[in-house]
Structure 1
Amino acid sequence: MSQILKIISPHVSQFIVKKSLFVTSVCKASTVADAKAFIEHVRDLSASHNCWAYRIGESNYRFSDDGEPSGTAGRPIYAAICANNIDDVVVVVTRYFGGIKLGAGGLIRAYSRATTECLRDAPKVELSPTADLSIAVTWEHIGVVQAIAERHERLDTVFNDSGCTIVLRVALDEEQKVRQEILDASKGFAKIE
């Protein structure tokens, strides 16, 4: 299977098809709120259409034709995202109508091309496989576990009466090493799931 890619900074590209200008904006989106905020930020109300799609993980995705004929914009944008193995991304294709109708096939090709070209040129990195670790630790050992947590992607920290639970995302090839380091630092008291 191909490596999953992630956008690291926003990118914009454009091209013209039969006098219609297609401006494509792409950005990293780690949450649905990030995706919606970006869509609202780049939406141009003076444009004919602001079609979009986002993909956050395998099952969290949406797309919109924004007034284009059903299935001619949002779905091709989303299909291009998937075909390029991009995750945690939002794409908005803004179309300024040039007076010549493209037809359903022409629209599908134009939105697909707009997305593919922008994703191709956008700065991105390959994602390594990861594992999420949920670490329950008592107050006595929070400091040493938090010191280890600082070197990894922290997804959540929830405090409770007995201590806290820290959720980390670590590279899959480092998972066992991190587990052992946490157990050693907490003298075996940390509970790792």
Structure 2
Amino acid sequence: MPSTLVGPCEYREEIRKSRFITFAAPINTPAQAQAFIEQHSDLNATHNCWAWKLGAQYRSTDDGEPGGTAGRPILAAIEAQDFDQVVVLVIRWYGGIQLGTGGLARAYGGGANKCLQQAERLPLINRVSLSLECSFSELTLIKLRLAELNGLVQHETFTANGVEMSIALGPEQIETFQRHVSDISRGRIILQR
């Protein structure tokens, strides 16, 4: 199952006198990825190489390193660990010793791998949007049952009679949640797609 990151993370290492710092973060749009890259890039560094993956979309750059030695290995690290909705930036300060194309690919891909391995994962779950109406007294219990099934409250509107909710829930959890809601409301509440 694909995962994203819970939050930003970083990894630092030195390889043959070159310093490498890897930053990774979760993203929801290509614009967020570019903003993260611009915010964390160091213009004084020798290279700012990066890759991001967002569903079927992906981008990477070698930023002056030999073609295919930085961006592609970073992207391969993202895909090898089954990450999605993630951006990874590896910054290099050249230390005076040539690493060769294989050494560069290992350094960039390895830094991305180590950064992502130590990061806290958040599984990406396919969810279906549903709506329901409940009374104020039922709200707390409904939210509790929804959280137990890894569902989300997308929106709630308080009315004179109770609460109108828009929720998101995994398709395989809908039947179970409907049973919980029916038990709570004695069959009055029905989920609507």
Letter in 1 for 2:105: I
Displacement, 1:179?
A: 6.9
TM-score w.r.t. structure 2 length?
Answer: 0.73
Q: Do the aligned partners of residues 169 and 54 (structure 1) sit closer, same or farther apart at CA in structure 2, a change above 3 Å counting?
A: farther
The equivalent of 1:23 in structure 2 is 21
The equivalent of 2:160 in structure 1 is none
Q: Do the aligned partners of residues 132 and 46 (structure 1) sit closer, same or farther apart at CA in structure 2, a change above 3 Å counting?
A: same
Structure 2 residue 104 is matched with structure 1 residue 107: yes
Counterpart mapping for 1:96-135 below 5 A: 96-125=93-122, 127=123, 129-133=125-129
Displacement, 1:5?
A: 2.4
Q: Do the aligned partners of residues 176 and 94 (structure 1) sit closer, same or farther apart at CA in structure 2, a change above 3 Å counting?
A: same
Distance in 1 between residues matched to 2:32 and 2:80, nearest whole Å: 22
Q: Do the aligned partners of residues 17 and 168 (structure 1) sit closer, same or farther apart at CA in structure 2, a change above 3 Å counting?
A: same
Distance in 2 between residues matched to 1:155 and 1:64, nearest whole Å: 36
Displacement, 1:169?
A: 3.7
Displacement, 1:92?
A: 0.2
The equivalent of 1:170 in structure 2 is 169
Q: Do the aligned partners of residues 128 and 63 (structure 1) sit closer, same or farther apart at CA in structure 2, a change above 3 Å counting?
A: closer
Q: Do the aligned partners of residues 11 and 102 (structure 1) sit closer, same or farther apart at CA in structure 2, a change above 3 Å counting?
A: same
Q: Percent identity?
A: 36
The equivalent of 2:47 in structure 1 is 49
Gaps of 5+ in 2: 156-164
Q: Does structure 1 conserve the Cα–Cα contact (< 8 Å) formed by 2:18 and 2:92?
A: yes
Q: Does structure 1 conserve the Cα–Cα contact (< 8 Å) formed by 2:130 and 2:168?
A: no
Q: Do the aligned partners of residues 101 and 93 (structure 1) sit closer, same or farther apart at CA in structure 2, a change above 3 Å counting?
A: same
Q: Do the aligned partners of residues 37 and 129 (structure 1) sit closer, same or farther apart at CA in structure 2, a change above 3 Å counting?
A: same
Distance in 1 between residues matched to 2:7 and 2:116, nearest whole Å: 11
Which secondary structure state, in structure 2, belongs to the residue aligned with residue 71 of structure 1?
Answer: coil
**How many pairs does the alignment contain?**
171
Gaps of 5+ in 1: 157-165
TM-score w.r.t. structure 1 length?
Answer: 0.73
Instruction: Please state which structure has a larger fraction of its residues in strand.
Output: 1
Q: Do the aligned partners of residues 20 and 120 (structure 1) sit closer, same or farther apart at CA in structure 2, a change above 3 Å counting?
A: same
Distance in 1 between residues matched to 2:167 and 2:17, nearest whole Å: 49
Q: Does structure 1 conserve the Cα–Cα contact (< 8 Å) formed by 2:4 and 2:124?
A: no
Which secondary structure state, in structure 1, belongs to the residue aligned with residue 114 of structure 2?
Answer: helix
Which secondary structure state, in structure 2, belongs to the residue aligned with residue 85 of structure 1?
Answer: coil
Distance in 1 between residues matched to 2:190 and 2:170, nearest whole Å: 23
Q: Does structure 1 conserve the Cα–Cα contact (< 8 Å) formed by 2:3 and 2:124?
A: no
Letter in 2 for 1:117: K
Displacement, 1:187?
A: 6.4
Q: Do the aligned partners of residues 173 and 103 (structure 1) sit closer, same or farther apart at CA in structure 2, a change above 3 Å counting?
A: same
Structure possessing the higher radius of gyration over alpha carbons: 2
Displacement, 1:56?
A: 1.6
